[in-house]
Amino acid sequence: MPKVIVLRWGHRPRRDARLTTHVALTARALGASGIILSDVKDEKIKETVEKIVRNWGGFFSFEMGTSWKKVVREWREKGGVVVHLTAYGENIQTSDVLKRIKATGKDILIIVGSKKVPKEFFSKKVSDFNVAIGNQPHSECASLAVFLDRLFEGKELTKEFENAKVKIIPQKRGKKIARI
């Protein structure tokens, strides 16, 4: 499978901290290798995500403060493709967009916005694919979850995370966590 990194654009530290944290945790849990919080730094989110990785295992990179334009330029120079998740893109269910993304065989940078994205994001200069998870307004966290699940065909849901200190023990009722 290709390497998948999420680029979180437009994070507003006072307003978006909880949702950006959820975007990062969703990315990690559903198979992405890392997240880039572009153009801003938010140490609290970084600390939270790094704590989750330390306790729950796996590898997940966290980068912040890098210009989104630089990230996109360097990603494309290295041969990766850029997928912009937007309600205005090709519908993942009614088009062959996912098939075309997979057919590239390339690493994937997924752009998810926080606030209204610049028109430039829709252009060929920035995005190779503009993908919609339905064509209605909804959460970027939901879009990312559905996209990753479709991309990895559900296999990410049984992934074992190396070096975990804790693990959920699935059961019919109640909550059980094992210390490893």
The pLDDT averaged over each successive group of 10 residues in the chain (180 residues) is 94 87 97 96 95 96 96 98 96 98 98 92 96 92 97 95 95 95
In angstroms, rounded to a whole number, what is the distance separating the alpha carbons of residues 166 and 156? 18
The DSSP output letter for 162 is T
pTM of the model: 0.95
Q: Could you give all domains of the chain from N- to C-terminal order, each with its CATH number?
A: 4-179 (3.40.1280.10)
Closest CA to 4 of 93, 89, 104: 104
Which residue type occupies 146? Answer: V
What's the distance, CA 8 to chain centroid? 8
Asked whether the beta carbons of 145 and 30 are under 8 A apart, the reply is yes
